[in-house]
Structure 1
Amino acid sequence: MLEKLKYPIGQPAIPENISEKDIDNWIKIIEDFPSELEKLTSILTDKQLNTTYRENGWTIRQVIHHCADSHLNSYIRFKWTLTEDKPIIKAYFEERWAELFDSSTAPISLSIHFLKALHAKWVYLLKGLTNEDLNKIFIHPEGNKHVKLSENIGVYAWHCNHHFAHINNLIISKNWYIKNP
């Protein structure tokens, strides 16, 4: 049960042979995520935003701010990879970032608006990548993992769907779609 709450859509499953259609589908997910997230969370109260999606998990508010932080880091990783030769990217302690004051208390509108602008710019970049660009690699310091940009597009499409599902599943389980008088 805990695994299903942690990974409501499962772990990322990136195919070995990534097609142009895969890339297009993933970019569309990234493109639509901010507006879909805004629609999903528009009815939520502060009390609901401060509800954790699972025991010992983050609140909805923290999840939304985490998406902004994580996606900004990913965008920068794309830029490094496109301008450097196999850069070793900077990892960060996402759980510590989620505990910071802004992630635990700031209005979600700050991150929603930020995600809209960031994703618009990111998607513009992604749509212009060549096959050569998509095959460029960055090195993640945790495990010295080599990651192709094409794979990372899939990982971040998954990341969008993953956190959307955390929030959506909580809303469904709490029956928050139904407005109480």
Structure 2
Amino acid sequence: MAKLFFRYAAMNAGKSTALLQVAYNYEERGHRVRIFTAAVDDRYGRGNVTSRLGPQRPAEVFDGETDFRQLLDADPGIACILVDEAQFLSKAQVWALHEIAHTRNVPAICYGLRTDFRGELFSGSATLLALADEMDEMKTICDCGRKATMNMRVDAGNRKVTEGAQVEIGGNARYRAVCGRCFRQA
């Protein structure tokens, strides 16, 4: 039976690279996948899953209106659904992916952040933590060498930002993956 998976980590842990590898593995064996990424994330152009290592590929975008059940109804024969930036899924979308895995036998593998720059759960991540049949924490390290578990937003002077909108798209110039101690000391 298929499962709903949540593979989460702080920024820069290789989540997109892992997603691209899973897609390649399915396709190399003759299976079709559907890859989605958040419409709000336009760091590398809209509708691209891009690894900092270089590999990238086009993906379908999802937003709050995306109905995964309907998309799957219109495209039978999909072996796996892969979602990058899964923290931006809505609660209803996570429930839909859970249903797809359990009633249609199509695995849904979601990659994303667990928490925002304040250490608070994203709605999509909270629902994935509640519903995922299998969760895997991917690892990356803080500048100090410890395991990074937090995402720290920084300003132009590299100082920690503690207020603002939950979602502000940015890469290494805007965020740092840090351990809990460095998060607290900043």
Q: TM-score range by the shorter chain?
A: under 0.3
Which protein, 1 or 2, shows the higher relative CO under an 8 Å CA cutoff with sep ≥ 6? 1
Structure (1/2) with the larger helix percentage: 1
Give me the TM-score of the superposition, normalised by structure 2. Answer: 0.25
